[in-house]
């Protein structure tokens, strides 16, 4: 790649990374870095507040844990710029300015806003920050001139909104912001133990760093096809969360699992055990690296400080151009 394309992705520090992250944005982030993209990856700690504003005591540990998880997953801070969103005040200023030109209706139409409200109905998250989440995402992208953003089919809406906001800004004030493009990436929907999307907030995850016994226990707790009670009963893999995980993590076995589930030859206990074997093997390297990194004091802080040095000049240049375009200079 002669001119490296700049790619941007953020990770919310809400707890340890899980296999749903790996199948989605973490695995993609590692792959794009290894394919030679110019990668800007950030700890989205302001985004964390949209749903976890009442858990800030955990923030320092979550931020450190996330950085170490990303390093263990294969993010190389020499090749990728890894930084912390809240250490760039330029992001907050640009969010305020873009908020002035973003119609409320655009934000209200984003489907994930209503989904979040529904999924977290027991918690009080119907706040301005959650509604404005896609606007802040837009700022994250444009503050570093992000050219492409890896998104799954379900996030295309967010990026389309970002493009709309950028176009509106550029129409009003001049051609200052780069309009990002979607890099459609495979992000298979990984269900959690209750069959809903795997999510830390739903407490249905399998953590990447979990030890083998914990992985086995977690996999055993998964719901399966409710019509398949015992071995011999024919199953319906298409509705089974365990089969969905096999589809991502047990590629060598997935065809056999599907066939023998349908005939009833395979029982759910053995099927789960097979999945646990694959997960334990797949993430063994992660567990080992993570254990070593966890014993290196201040590593996360040093990585973030170095990332900040690299991203700050770019963010400063962007906000200065925006201020000038909006007549806030001088
Ligand atoms: S055999 Fe496997 S795929 Fe089939 S229902 Fe049981 S756990 Fe699911």
- Report the SS3 class of residue 316: helix
* 266 within ligand 1 shell (Cβ under 6 A): yes
DSSP per-residue codes, 52-79: HTT-GGGHHHHHHHHHHHHHHHT--TTT
Of 28 and 2, the one with more pLDDT: 28
Q: Which residue has the tokens 């529904």?
A: 118
Mean pLDDT for 38-67 is: 93
- Tell me the CA–centroid distance for residue 220 and ligand 1, in Å: 11
Hey, how many other C-beta atoms are within 10 angstroms of the C-beta on 33? Answer: 18
**Burial class, 129, CB count within 10 angstroms (exposed 0-12 / middle 13-18 / buried 19+):** middle
Mean pLDDT for 145-149 is: 95
Testing ligand 1's pocket by substitution, the residue of 240, 248, 260 carrying the most ligand atoms inside 8 A of its CB is: 240
CA atoms within 13 A on the CB side of 105: 0
**Atom 7 of ligand 1, nearest CA residue:** 268
pLDDT above 50 for 1? no
Q: What is the mean pLDDT of the chain?
A: 93
* 228 within ligand 1 shell (Cβ under 6 A): yes
- Report the SS3 class of residue 155: helix
* 244 within ligand 1 shell (Cβ under 6 A): no
pLDDT above 70 for 95? yes
pLDDT above 60 for 100? yes
Phi first, then psi, for residue 197 (nearest 5°) are -55, 135
pLDDT above 70 for 330? no
Give the integer Cα–Cα distance in Å for 62 and 272: 30
What pLDDT, on the 0 to 100 scale, is given for residue 174? 97
Of the candidates 131, 137, 95, the residue with the CA atom closest to the CA atom of residue 116 = 131
Atom of ligand 1 nearest to the CA of 258: 3
- Tell me the CA–centroid distance for residue 18 and ligand 1, in Å: 21
What pLDDT, on the 0 to 100 scale, is given for residue 44? 97
**Atom 4 of ligand 1, nearest CA residue:** 261
- Tell me the CA–centroid distance for residue 208 and ligand 1, in Å: 22
What pLDDT, on the 0 to 100 scale, is given for residue 201? 78
Summarize pLDDT for 159-213 with one digit per residue, the tens: 999 999 999 999 999 999 999 999 988 778 899 999 998 988 789 999 999 999 9
Record the tokens describing residue 247, joined without a space: 């589809």
pLDDT above 70 for 114? yes
pLDDT above 80 for 257? yes
- Tell me the CA–centroid distance for residue 237 and ligand 1, in Å: 6
Of 11 and 329, the one with more pLDDT: 11
Record the tokens describing residue 169, joined without a space: 């800004």
The yes-or-no answer to whether 6-190+297-325 and 211-282 have a common fold is no
CATH architecture classification, 6-190+297-325: 3-Layer(aba) Sandwich (3.40)
- Tell me the CA–centroid distance for residue 58 and ligand 1, in Å: 37
What DSSP character marks residue 179? P
Mean pLDDT for 100-104 is: 96
Where do the domains of the chain lie?
6-190+297-325, 211-282
CATH 1.10.240.10 fits 211-282, yes or no: yes
Give the integer Cα–Cα distance in Å for 162 and 137: 8
- Tell me the CA–centroid distance for residue 205 and ligand 1, in Å: 18
Pairing of strands 181-184, 148-151: parallel
Give the integer Cα–Cα distance in Å for 300 and 64: 6
% of the chain exceeding 70 in pLDDT: 98
What pLDDT, on the 0 to 100 scale, is given for residue 280? 97
ipTM of the complex: 0.99
pLDDT category of residue 300 using cuts at 50, 70 and 90 = very high
What pLDDT, on the 0 to 100 scale, is given for residue 172? 98
Pairing of strands 181-184, 81-84: unpaired
What pLDDT, on the 0 to 100 scale, is given for residue 2? 53
What DSSP character marks residue 127? S
* 237 within ligand 1 shell (Cβ under 6 A): yes
DSSP alpha helix (H) spans, 100-176: 104-108, 111-119, 128-131, 133-143, 156-173
Query: Can you say how many angstroms the Cα of residue 49 is from the centroid of all Cα atoms in its chain?
Result: 15
Atom of ligand 1 nearest to the CA of 266: 1
- Tell me the CA–centroid distance for residue 19 and ligand 1, in Å: 19
């Amino acid at each position: 790649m002669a001119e490296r394309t700049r790619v941007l992705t953020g990770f919310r520090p809400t707890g340890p990374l899980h296999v749903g992250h790996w199948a989605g944005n973490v695995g993609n982030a590692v792959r794009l870095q290894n394919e030679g993209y110019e990668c800007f990856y950030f700890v989205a700690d302001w985004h964390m507040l949209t749903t976890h504003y009442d858990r800030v005591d955990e923030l320092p540990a979550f931020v450190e844990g996330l950085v170490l998880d990303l390093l263990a997953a294969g993010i190389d801070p020499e090749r990728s710029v890894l930084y912390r969103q809240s250490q760039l005040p330029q992001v907050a200023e640009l969010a305020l300015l873009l908020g002035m030109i973003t119609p409320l209706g655009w934000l209200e139409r984003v489907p994930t806003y209503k989904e979040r409200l529904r999924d977290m109905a027991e918690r009080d998250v119907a706040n301005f920050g959650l509604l404005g989440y896609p606007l802040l995402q837009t700022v994250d992208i444009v503050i570093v001139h992000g050219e492409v953003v890896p998104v799954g089919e379900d996030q295309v809406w967010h990026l389309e909104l970002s493009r709309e906001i950028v176009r509106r800004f550029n129409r009003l004030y001049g051609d200052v912001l780069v309009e990002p493009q979607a890099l459609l990436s495979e992000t298979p929907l990984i269900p959690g133990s209750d069959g809903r999307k795997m999510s830390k907030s739903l407490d249905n995850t399998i953590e990447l760093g979990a030890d083998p016994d914990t992985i086995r226990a977690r996999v055993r707790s998964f719901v399966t096809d409710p019509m398949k009670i015992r071995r011999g009963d024919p199953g319906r893999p298409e509705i089974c969360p365990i089969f969905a995980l096999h589809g991502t993590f047990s590629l060598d076995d997935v065809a056999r699992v599907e066939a023998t589930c349908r005939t009833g030859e395979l029982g759910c206990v053995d099927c789960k055990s097979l999945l646990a074997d694959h997960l334990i093997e797949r993430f063994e390297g992660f567990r080992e690296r993570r254990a070593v990194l966890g014993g290196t004091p201040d590593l996360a802080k040093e990585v973030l400080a170095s990332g900040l040095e690299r991203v700050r000049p770019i963010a400063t240049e962007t906000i200065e151009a925006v201020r000038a375009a909006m007549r806030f200079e001088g």
